[in-house]
Amino acid sequence: MNEELRNVETIKKRIAYTKFWDRVFLSVGSLATLVGLVLLFTLFIDLFVDGAPRLSLKFLTSFPSRFPEEAGILSAWVGTFLVMLVTAFAAIPVGIAAGIYLEEYARKNWLTDIIEINISNLAGIPSIVYGLLALGLFVYFFKFGESVLTGGLALALLVLPMVIIATREAIRAIPNSIREASYALGATKWQTVQWHIIPYSVGGILTGIIIGLSRAIGETAPIITVGALTFIAFLPSSPVTPDFPFLSFKWLSDPFTVMPIQLFNWVSRPQQAFHINAAATGIVLLLMTLLMNALAIYIRYRSRKKIKW
C-alpha cells in the first residue's frame, strides 16, 4: 500500500476532500435544476404582467384590427380550432393503425426495420421541413391551396410519429397472457385487438394524442410556409348549414390564420401596444397547452391506477 495512505490523518483529509466535492455538487445540481424551473416561472410572470390587462371577452370575440386596443383573436382561435379538427381526423386513425400493426402484426423483417427507422427519423425532422413538404405537395401538387385543409394536414404529418410511438408504448405494456387467453377462446387476431388490446391501451394512446395536439396548437413554422394569412377579418364558412344536408365542408378550402401566427405578427411590429396583444395571445396559448398537458398527465395517472396486470 502507498506509504502516504497509512497515515490516518491524510486518509481523513482525503475523505473530507471527496465529501466536500460531493456536497458542492449537491448544491450545483439543485441550482442547475432550478434554473430551468425559475425561467419557466419568470416567463409566466412576464407574460401575465404584460398581457393580463388586455384579456377580456371582447379580446376573444373581436377580429384583428389596425387599432391595437380594438384588436382581438376571434379569427385566430376559430382557425386554430378548425385546423386542429383536420389534424386530429387525419393523424389519429392512421397513427393508431400504424402502432397496432407494428406491435401486433409486423413480422421481424427488413420492411419492418425500414418502417421503424422511418418513424424515429420522422420524429426528429424539423417542423419547418414538414411545412416545405406541405407547400410542395398539398398546396401545389394536390392543389388544396392555402387552406384549412392544407394547414391541418401539415400539422398531422408532425403529430403522426408521436401518436404512433404512444400507441406502441401503450400496447407493449399489455401482458401476453391477455392475448393468449383471447386466442385460447378461439378469437381471431383482429377480435383480440378490437376487444382487448385497444380498450386496455386507450389511456396511453389518449395521453399521446393530447400531448401531440398540444404541440401542434403551438406550432407556427409549418403553418407559415403553407401560407396562412396574418390578417383575417372574417371567419371560415360555417360547418353547419340551415339547409339539408346540414353539414358543409367549404371551410376546408377557406384561408385561415391561427393563434401562434397572430402572436408572431403582433410581436414583430414595432408598436408597444401590439406587444401587449401578443402577450395576451401568449397567455391564451400557454393556458391551452398547459391544460392539455395536465389532462394528459391526469389520464395517464388514472389509467395506470385502474389497471393492475
Q: Reply yes or no: is the peptide bond before residue 245 cis, omega within 30 of 0.
A: yes
Least distance in Å: CB of 193 to another protein? 8
The residue from 30, 67, 240, 246 that contacts another protein (CB under 8 A) is: 30
- Quickly list H helices, the chain: 8-51, 57-61, 74-100, 110-122, 127-134, 148-172, 176-184, 189-192, 198-218, 221-225, 259-267, 272-306
Nearer to another protein among residue 190 and residue 238 (C-beta):
190
Return the residues of window 269-308 that contact another protein according to CB under 8 A.
Answer: 275, 278-279, 282, 285-286, 289-290, 293, 297
Residue 199 cell numbers, joined: 380498450
- Return the range that interacts with another protein (CB under 8 A); candidates 54-62, 75-83, 183-191, 233-241: 183-191
| Total site size for another protein, rule CB under 8 A | 89
The residue from 164, 166, 171, 205 that contacts another protein (CB under 8 A) is: 164
Task: Determine, following the binding rule CB under 8 A, whether residue 183 of this chain makes contact with another protein.
Answer: no
Task: Determine, following the binding rule CB under 8 A, whether residue 132 of this chain makes contact with another protein.
Answer: yes
Task: Determine, following the binding rule CB under 8 A, whether residue 102 of this chain makes contact with another protein.
Answer: yes
> Residue 134 in contact with residue 122, Cβ under 8 Å?
no
Task: Determine, following the binding rule CB under 8 A, whether residue 255 of this chain makes contact with another protein.
Answer: no
The residue from 72, 79, 208, 260 that contacts another protein (CB under 8 A) is: 260
Task: Determine, following the binding rule CB under 8 A, whether residue 219 of this chain makes contact with another protein.
Answer: yes
Residue 22 cell numbers, joined: 460531493
- State how far the Cα of 281 lies from the Cα of 258, in Å rounded to an integer: 11
Neighbours of 290 (CB within 10 A): 12
Read off the amino acid at residue 137: L
